[in-house]
Amino acid sequence: MPSLRDYRDRIASVKSTRKITSAMKMVAASKLKRAQDAAVASQPYAKAMAGMISRVADGVHGDAGPKLLVGTGSDQRHLLVVISSDRGLCGGFNGNLVRYTRNEVRRLRTEGKQVQIVCVGRKARDVLKRDFAPLIIETITGLGGKKRLGFAEAQKVSDLVLDLFVREQFDICSLVYNQFVSVLTQTPHSQQLIPFVVAANENKSVDASPYSFEPEEDVILAEILPKNISVQIFRALLDSGAGEQAARMTAMDNATRNAGDMIKNLSIKYNRARQAYITKELIEIISGAEAV
């Protein structure tokens, strides 16, 4: 049975942990509002740009468009750009993403595809390398530690992807990240970046588009498709950043509550042990007095 000192030390230790988790919760809550506003603000722009490219691509027929639109003609080699966090203590945020990525890799390999992985964030790299170390060709870290995530960070990732595409290292590139749904919900999501996928409700039709473009559609697409990749990656980074702060705030709130419950249980056990110790001392005193 633990001594009274053991109970006191354990209670003091849990109280110190509760102070830390409570402080981390408040820090995450302060960062969440700014990250959430940035993620929400980026979505209309990203959707509008994808819609604009779909309208322009409506006038491109056959395989005359840029390779970023029509692809390489094969779907054998896949590149997965996995966006996670650099730090932990955020609940199942990274675990759910890694599980989703594992399933995607196994599905593609079962279909006979070749898979390569680019990790944006330290946590995904640390876990995925246990099973798929030969598949990880590049890791980019340090993006999540910045006070305010800028477009330059997304440009760094997109430059890497475009360089690999120019060197014909893959046929299809997909972005895997945690989509920010709400403060309580972050859902692993996959989005194909290369080749560009035209929205289902904007399929190509010769007579459907009321727009005329100058210069030609393929010239416009060659200019804006690389920018679209940067925009979509930036949106994913902002979504992931907001989801990370929301997950950390929720996890630290749960940890603080659990620490409080543990302190109550330990206090009850301490009081019981203390009462038993006092009772034992009284019995020994009374027994000694009666013996005299």
Residues assigned a catalytic role:
90
Structure token digits, residue 161:
């992807």
Q: Which 8-state DSSP code applies to residue 188? A: E
A 10 A CB-CB count for 196 gives 21
3-state DSSP assignment of residue 108: helix
- Tell which phi-psi region holds residue 116, choosing left (phi > 0), alpha (psi between -120 and 50) or beta: beta
Q: How far is CA 16 from CA 51, 163, 249, in A?
A: 52, 49, 18
* Amino acid symbol at 283: I
How many Å separate Cα 160 from the centre of its chain? 19
CA distance 270 to 8: 8
Which residue, among 69, 238, 14, has the nearest Cα to 146 in the 3D structure? 238
C-alpha–C-alpha distance, residues 10 and 223, integer Å: 63
For residue 202, give the amino acid letter.
E
76: number of Cβ within 10 Å: 12
